[in-house]
Structure 1
């Protein structure tokens, strides 16, 4: 706010004007309930502070006041090669984070230009760094209205994820996975089997080792508890904790310390690379040594598993297990990248593999054969991949892309991308899965990945792309998950050649993909209630 000294001067002296900043206390609720004749009324805390700001500065008159918000550069400046203790280096950088350089200034839309310029000058920001908004700053704080208004008609139905029948009936996770691959589509299918997989392994006397990556996890993580318990039970437990996961650095440092205290071997990955892949490996002694793998697109976080759409798979296939073992050897030791059997791993050839698959479809189209690409991801930014898709389009490949966020490709340009269509689905759950299909009809190869098609994922992160080999699961991904998402006519927006998005004209019976998956999950739950699984019960012990 701008303040002017009060007095009886006949002429106003510009030097009497001062800039004052009053921090809105984070310890107080942003939404303040105020008396109302009927119903409920609220005021924003910053508006109340502005109304009484004169009381904070005796002898001054408040000339102008506005709310503003500063975004600072929170990237950590770490030289990993020079750091002798990465953990302590990250902790030191975190203490300096709040003093990072300002990169953005957000102001109320009606903020006076004089005040905006004063703030920008003090923060050393240019005009292009100033953003005027016509809604309350930091709108996530308005979620407090959810608790303030209990009316049920304003709330969505509570999410009740289903559990696949084969897992409802399973006496153990490993015995079920040994029989067949299992695909989970979160959040419509429960994340509990993933937690159960690690919890059972921690207590199973036949389990020799557990290895897992943790990029982001929940505050009361059942994975950390289970992994700690496994180490206490004498199992070899190795966990790669990514302490450079943006905004989760402090949490992950705390988890790393807790795991180390329990006897877990904690590692922090390869120098200069973030470990972003989601993978767990359980080694078990049976009639022979057998390995069980979980791979996914989402974090090992039960909370976000109810808010994000992700895919994951359990498998005991030897080729996937071999690649999983080789990956952990790479991450925890000094092994050279191997020749992967089924994985494609960044930065050791994932981008090249994707480009090769795109080019294969282009060659098929040039030969007059059916050619098709369907890809679902968060962001599409990588220039080489975009050029590859343009080339495939001009060759005649039919390409459908589901890109929820940033998309630097422009579809529908004659002679460049007329065979490419781009949809963005934004709905109740954050679309987070990365699923890629290359090939038409029966020749389609389906892959699931932790990586978006971005330079950072290809070059600066450890990422994994793996195939869906089981025919039934591959058919489900193609004909259910991808096909239904592409058919969305309610929450999907289509990207135009000029970079703008528009909603399709809603027709009667239009598909809302997330609602379709929710209804499907409810049907499975209802069917399970009508036909509860019958589990084998162990015979009672003989009386002594």
Structure 2
């Protein structure tokens, strides 16, 4: 009897083993859309997921699709690991994005919109309002909207105008021919006015009409000499990425300001229209915008873009319409401390945001700014947001004569203008403002305070996976630590010296830094697990991140799987690794969690033959993080904190059978099956983390210190209350 032939083992550079990055991102957004579809999610949260889906897709087209179109036009042919050309990628993106937009329409029109109306929140047609209410809203148009509008008739004297990125516009069609006058017109819907107008409508607690529908109702009055034949709404998405050559221009800040002005006129990459538009109008717009009528055009149910319609779900409402409210808990050791510096000296402190409040970080910096024993403060700033108490604390410290250095990343995408504003404000206050290294984006999150104490200078270091941004810290899941460990403090000092003085250290004691060896270190850690598995030693990898793209790391994980390493990847977004492939990735599972908070922490656990090592990082496993950014991966050295991350955070997320998903070999995701005996889910990781934060706060509910916030400190803590976006 002849033996069966040995199976053919795929080569690890086989393109079929790599999921296309763009398709993987679209699958992430599909999971967001599924939350809008899920009737177990509170109604108002479902609407918010619909809004998030649209905003995510905007950014995807403005950056990723724009980049592919640029590659195609410049005839750049550098295929990704999956081997697809830019043209092939644009085609598959268009196919999948059209499918998702059709799904979005279905969810909105047949599920969420009717459910909102049943709950008393309605988006209504003007024609359905009572005569008195129509008269009132018409009067409002004449008084408050008409004077703001600029009707544009398009002809050889008035060519097609620049259409702003993401702004809603009305296309207007006139009767007649070219000899009798213009055939088309345009009205830009003002972004300076609210998108929703509240009206009185019978049967609804709150009802609204869109601004564009009111303008459409009166469009004839805007073109009194022409006969309006039809009108439609459209929205253009443009290339909004920025490319800065740090070597050109003496002032990066001025160069960035000029580039921001240029970006406003980026090339169009997508055209979205309401589905009542004539085909001739679509062809006309595509000619004006240089777009492909089949690939780049999306016809949708009105209204265009739900992201501006948050008023629909604002205000008081029955509790069943929203997620369970949660107040971040102030981590007890810092909450109860009269001397925050002594508390940090006592041992490393781990914070799991947003469950444990970011206010602890804010208060630490405010205390440092006011403390007369503090000599210097150094901090990296990537996305700190407007009206930041962290920025005000740095200003205050400089005003008090402390040596303050802020490493500001001006190129943080979509936050460039905000970063420029507070970089100038910091400079005016006497802060030393630096802009990182030429050719690299500064993405590391590091804060160091140098304090004069009785035994000499003491350095306090804060390291984080997420930005120093008080607003996003309420919505993003991240980890951070406070430490006074001398070896970490020396590395932090060396990092700041590298960023300000180009003085690279000979080596690092504890931190792993990109682009100075982080990728090689990660590959080495993966390879060590492979060797341990081959030697029969305990071997396991659990890695949590936003994205896994780097082909060398993917190949390393495949090799580890072949060696017998059990691998669990917790990846919120893009994953180019294909799990479950025979002879390649049978030992790899890819999990994803989509819930109310954005999973953002990067955490890595390596079994190391029974001596586990745990790291947190600012970096995902992507080429840009390893090669084109300054990133930091830092070890968790305290055994208590290490155990907490492994057993409490990583294992809880891996066990999530309520909001968890699993990636299948074909590249699509399926929901995790509930593990309960009765078919009900047993673990919802984010709710479990809320419970744990509350439990810790209760267990340490001793007398809270009465911290006096007087004078300048009180000013630093003042926050402007802003209306929450829908």
TM-score range, shorter chain: over 0.9
CA contact (8 A) 2:174 2:229 kept: no
Mapped to 2, the partners of 1:201 and 1:371 lie a distance apart of: 43
Q: Does 2:197 correspond to 1:32? A: yes
CA contact (8 A) 2:334 2:340 kept: yes
Q: Does 2:360 correspond to 1:193? A: yes
Q: Does 2:703 correspond to 1:532? A: yes
- 1:381-422 Cα distance to aligned partner (Å, 9 max, x none): 111111111111111111111111111111111112111111
Partner of 2:187, secondary structure, is coil
CA contact (8 A) 2:411 2:441 kept: yes
Q: Does 2:586 correspond to 1:418? A: yes
Mapped to 2, the partners of 1:88 and 1:115 lie a distance apart of: 40
Mapped to 2, the partners of 1:112 and 1:247 lie a distance apart of: 34
1:224 deviates by: 1.2
Q: Does 2:630 correspond to 1:462? A: yes
Instruction: State which of 78, 85, 95 in structure 1 corresponds to 2:251.
Output: 85
* Residue matched to 1:21: 186
1:149 deviates by: 5.1
* Residue matched to 1:540: none
- 1:327-366 superposed matches below 5 A: 327-366=495-534
- 1:136-186 Cα distance to aligned partner (Å, 9 max, x none): 433221222232553333233332111222212222221111110000000
Mapped to 1, the partners of 2:707 and 2:186 lie a distance apart of: 68
Instruction: State which of 54, 57, 73 in structure 1 corresponds to 2:223.
Output: 57
- 1:230-249 superposed matches below 5 A: 230-249=397-416
CA gap 1:4/1:488 in 2 versus in 1, 3 angstroms: closer
CA contact (8 A) 1:4 1:16 kept: no
Task: Give the TM-score, by structure 1 length.
Answer: 0.93
Instruction: State which of 495, 518, 521 in structure 1 corresponds to 2:690.
Output: 518
CA contact (8 A) 1:227 1:237 kept: yes
Mapped to 2, the partners of 1:297 and 1:15 lie a distance apart of: 63
**Which is worse superposed, 362-371 or 189-198?**
362-371
Matched length: 532
1:14 deviates by: 11
Q: Does 2:337 correspond to 1:170? A: yes
Instruction: State which of 553, 562, 566 in structure 2 corresponds to 1:394.
Output: 562
- 1:109-124 superposed matches below 5 A: 109=275, 111-124=277-290
Q: Does 2:544 correspond to 1:376? A: yes
- 1:95-494 superposed matches below 5 A: 95-109=261-275, 111-126=277-292, 127-134=294-301, 136-148=303-315, 150-286=317-453, 287-439=455-607, 442-494=610-662
1:331 deviates by: 0.2
CA gap 1:535/1:36 in 2 versus in 1, 3 angstroms: closer
* Residue matched to 1:541: none
Q: Specify which structure has the higher proportion of helix.
A: 2
Q: Which has the higher contact order (CA 8 A, sep 6+)?
A: 2
Mapped to 2, the partners of 1:486 and 1:128 lie a distance apart of: 38
- 1:197-244 Cα distance to aligned partner (Å, 9 max, x none): 111111112211110001011311111111111111111111111111
Long gaps (5+) in structure 1: 538-544
Task: Give the TM-score, by structure 2 length.
Answer: 0.70
Instruction: State which of 52, 69, 78 in structure 1 corresponds to 2:235.
Output: 69
Partner of 2:309, secondary structure, is helix
Partner of 1:66, secondary structure, is strand
**Which is worse superposed, 492-501 or 106-115?**
106-115
Long gaps (5+) in structure 2: 1-169, 709-726
Mapped to 2, the partners of 1:3 and 1:202 lie a distance apart of: 58
**Which is worse superposed, 182-191 or 259-268?**
259-268
